[in-house]
Amino acid sequence: MQASKPDETATDRALPNRIAKEPLCEDRIIAVGYLTPARPIRRLFDVSRANGSAIITMIFLLGSNSPAALATDTGWHAVEDITRTAEIFVRDLVGTSDDRITPEAGRLDSRLQLPKCSQSLTAFQQRGAKITGRTIVGVRCSGNNPWRIYVPVDVVVTESVLIARRTLPAGHTFSVDDVVAEQRDVSRLVGGYLSQPQNLVGKRLKHSLMAGRIITPSMLKAHIMIHRGQSVTIMAGGEAVNIRMTGVALSDGAENQRIRVENTGSRRVIEGVVRSPEHVEVLIY
């Protein structure tokens, strides 16, 4: 017996005969299994015609798609158990003695549907993988319906860092009142951070800084101790002999920075290290 055809709509009647009789149209309908067999499902068919072919889109409206409902009503494994297994695995690897380190699994899609495992889940890492700021952890089910999934886990490291108390302009010279210490995640601060206010005092900003931003070393200009053309005292020698001579700085220099200086007596240009606002040390090895 031939199955009866569904009622013809106005859209169907408006199609050209060559499209309506196209035998390949049926192959474009992808069968999708019921996601929740125990619940009624409404299917909305959005029928459109583009480039002479029928595109049929199926939209499933579910009564509930929360992880808890899926795990309880249909036997899908709870997403929370998967992420918790990954977090415990990383916590055991980094050790639990340091309260500053907290593993946080990335949020998985709430529509994730994996069969409820008949055994306890186990976590693993790929061979040679290391624990970093973001680590990929595998979670495996070895039960009757085995499966595996990979979960991103962020290793959050909390430290006390200096942030801007208020918005500061470019070229601003820092003082203790400009910063405040806060606990922040430093695991992704590739450029480092500052935690001691005294290491910041006297340094200048390269660019303007918004209030609440973490201050990193790359944002700072070192305080210039010696300026080009300034008279300086050149020091050379060691523990037994200490020679001092007068010179002129040929460039600006911050503390511990190498600059070129000219000996005013011999007119010889040498290189030294800035040690104070008046002294440049020539290193002799």
**Domain 224-282 class in CATH:** mainly beta
Does the domain at 158-221 match CATH 3.90.1210.10? Answer given as yes
Per residue in 184-240, pLDDT tens?
Answer: 988 778 888 999 988 888 788 999 999 999 999 889 987 788 999 999 999 987 666
* pLDDT score at 201: 83
Instruction: Band the pLDDT of 260: cuts 50, 70, 90.
Output: very high
List, as one string, the DSSP characters of 228-280: TT-EEEEEEE-SS-EEEEEEEESS-EETT-EEEEEETTT--EEEEEE-SSSEE
| Stretch 104-110: mean pLDDT | 86
Q: Which two tokens stand for residue 136?
A: 């990929």
What Å distances lie between residue 100 and 84, 130, 160, 183, 195, CA to CA?
19, 19, 10, 10, 15
Distance CA 261, CA 270 (A): 6
Query: What is the pairing mode between strands 279-282 and 231-237?
Result: parallel
The residues of the chain that CATH labels 3.90.1210.10 are 158-221
pLDDT surpassing 50 at residue 135: yes
Sorted by sequence, the CB contacts under 8 Å of residue 189 that are 6+ apart come out as: 161, 214, 216
Q: Is the pTM of this model over 0.75?
A: no
Question: pLDDT higher for 10 or 31?
Answer: 10
pLDDT at 158: 87
Residue 95 CA to residue 32 CA, distance in Å, equals 45
Residue with tokens 């639990």: 96
Of 200, 235, 190, 239, residue with least CA distance to 221: 200
Phi then psi for 260, rounded to 5 degrees? Answer: -95, 135
Q: CATH 2.30.30.760: which residues of the chain? A: 224-282
